[in-house]
Amino acid sequence: MSDEKKYTGYPPYAPGTHIRESDIQERKISYSWWEPEVQYAWSAGHAMNVFLKGLKNGKIMGIHCKPCKRVIIPPRMFCEYCYGPTDEWIELPDTGIIETYSISYLDSDARRIKEPILIGVIDIDGADPHHGFMHYFGEMSKEEIKIGMKVKAVWKPENEREGSITDIKYFKPL
Amino acid sequence: MTFGEKQTDPLAKTHWRGDMQADYFYPAGVAGDKFFKHLKENDSFLATKCNKCDKVLFPARLYCEDCFEEIPDADWMEVPATGVVRLFTIATLNAHGEKLENPKVMALIDVDQTDGAILGVINMVDLNKDYIGLKVKAALKQKEKREGTLKDIIHWELV
């Protein structure tokens, strides 16, 4: 496009003008603003539902796979080894051993903290080896914690439980 | 509950609810800005005329959408806020699929003196009426209440 055709005052290939905060606040420019209602509901599914309901009652629920003779925790509706449906619900003890752990100097919002949080995976007793879930550790120092340590769940009082993994406060040394 | 049973209700089991923030900001652009500022102060619309293809663009644009010719300031024109219904549909359900107490007539309106059209709601509802070809007029908000958006048009009424 030649220069003499540029009669509108707008550049033919406008490099663009950034909208400033004040343009919006003072409504110098025309715009539409919309906040759509986007709600979601995330379901835990059947197996995790039984597990979470169990936590509310102070129980750790595992599930059995007959062909593999395996007790799975956290529970699933099918066995990922044989793809068959799992069959029997089993109440497991609230004890286990530390499978692996981490000493974290960052909190859950990634802020630096002085006193570290101890977290890790607990092999739940009664389930197959290396079957367990993640949780906090307490009543132990970062020097004391070690892999293979026996631990036991510390539960919230019954009236404070809500069917969540945090119904267990932490795992303490047994 | 068996393995093969299908579960489609997320609320049937333990679940978590949440809101996703998805704000939507749409600046009207250079031509749109001029169009809406005019609408805020006047009871008419702005359109632009492409002299090359002899087409009146509505809503007003800086470039002809057919031949890409730039449109000079001199070819901006004022057109009345009236038109003719090209197409219509009657909504009896809302966006959530619930039955509306008062059905809505939504129409595509060919704006007079232009080759463009605009979507709008017609305030007169008659489920058995054929609205195609009827003349309509925009009912605008009071000038002091206008914000310079499409919502300044309350609805369209039959002339």
Q: What is residue B99's predicted lDDT score, i.e. its pLDDT? A: 94
Residues of A engaging B, defined by a Cβ cutoff of 8 Å: 1, 5-10, 12, 14, 19, 24, 27, 29-46, 48-49, 52-53, 77-78, 85, 163
Domain annotation covers residue A20: no
**How far B77 CA lies from chain A's nearest CA (Å)?**
14
Nearest to B70 among A12, A30, A38 (CB): A12
Q: What is residue B157's predicted lDDT score, i.e. its pLDDT? A: 95
Domain annotation covers residue A21: no
B98-121: average pLDDT? 95
Report which residue type is found at B117: A
Q: In chain B, what percentage of residues exceed pLDDT 90?
A: 69
Nearest to A32 among B18, B26, B62 (CB): B26
CB atoms B27 and A31 under 8 Å: yes
Q: What is residue A8's predicted lDDT score, i.e. its pLDDT? A: 53
Per DSSP bridges, beta strands A95-106 and A112-124 are: antiparallel
CA distance B28 to B35: 9
The ipTM estimated for the assembled molecules is 0.72
CB neighbours (10 Å) of residue A62? Answer: 24
The total domain count for chain A is: 1
**How far A142 CA lies from chain B's nearest CA (Å)?**
34
All residue ranges of chain A with pLDDT < 70 are 1-17
CB atoms B71 and A8 under 8 Å: yes
CA atoms within 13 A on the CB side of A14: 11
Asked if B157 reaches chain A (Cβ–Cβ under 8 Å), the answer is: no
Q: Which H or E run includes B15?
A: strand B15-20
Residue range B29-64, pLDDT digits in tens:
889 999 999 999 999 999 999 999 999 999 999 999
Distances from the Cα of A12 to the Cα of A4, A8, B32, angstroms: 11, 9, 17
| 3 state DSSP class of B125 | coil
Q: What is residue A2's predicted lDDT score, i.e. its pLDDT? A: 45
Contacts for A55 with CB less than 8 Å, ≥ 6 apart: A161, A163, A164, A165, A167, A168
Per DSSP bridges, beta strands B135-140 and B99-111 are: unpaired
Please provide the average confidence, as pLDDT, over all residues in chain A: 89
Residue range B9-21, pLDDT digits in tens:
888 888 889 999 8
**Is residue B1 within 8 Å of A31, Cβ to Cβ?**
no
- The residue among A17, A30, A55 with the most chain B CBs within 10 A of its CB, best to mutate, is A30
Q: What are phi and psi of B153, to 5 degrees?
A: -85, 115
CA distance A142 to A34: 50
Please provide the average confidence, as pLDDT, over all residues in chain B: 91
CB atoms B1 and A32 under 8 Å: no
CA atoms within 13 A on the CB side of B123: 12
Asked if B52 reaches chain A (Cβ–Cβ under 8 Å), the answer is: no
Q: Nearest-CA neighbor of B156 among B114, B107, B112, B110?
A: B107
Q: Nearest-CA neighbor of A49 among A74, A85, A83?
A: A74
- The residue among B7, B9, B14, B94 with the most chain A CBs within 10 A of its CB, best to mutate, is B14
Residue in B with minimal Cα distance to A7: B72
Q: What are phi and psi of B46, to 5 degrees?
A: -110, 140
Domain annotation covers residue A40: no
Q: What is residue B21's predicted lDDT score, i.e. its pLDDT? A: 87
Asked if B68 reaches chain A (Cβ–Cβ under 8 Å), the answer is: no
This prediction has a pTM of 0.59
Q: Could you tell me the residue range of the domain that residue A142 belongs to? A: 45-173
Residue range A104-116, pLDDT digits in tens:
999 988 999 999 9
SS3 track for B43-90: CEEEEEEECCCCEEECCCCCECCCCCCECCHHHEEEEECEEEEEEEEE
**How far B29 CA lies from chain A's nearest CA (Å)?**
8
pLDDT at residue B65 greater than cutoff 60: yes
Asked if B71 reaches chain A (Cβ–Cβ under 8 Å), the answer is: yes
B29-158 CATH:
2.40.50.140
**How far B118 CA lies from chain A's nearest CA (Å)?**
17
Confidence grade of residue B3 (pLDDT, cut at 50, 70, 90): low
CA distance B33 to B46: 11
CB atoms A38 and B36 under 8 Å: no
Q: What is residue B1's predicted lDDT score, i.e. its pLDDT? A: 57
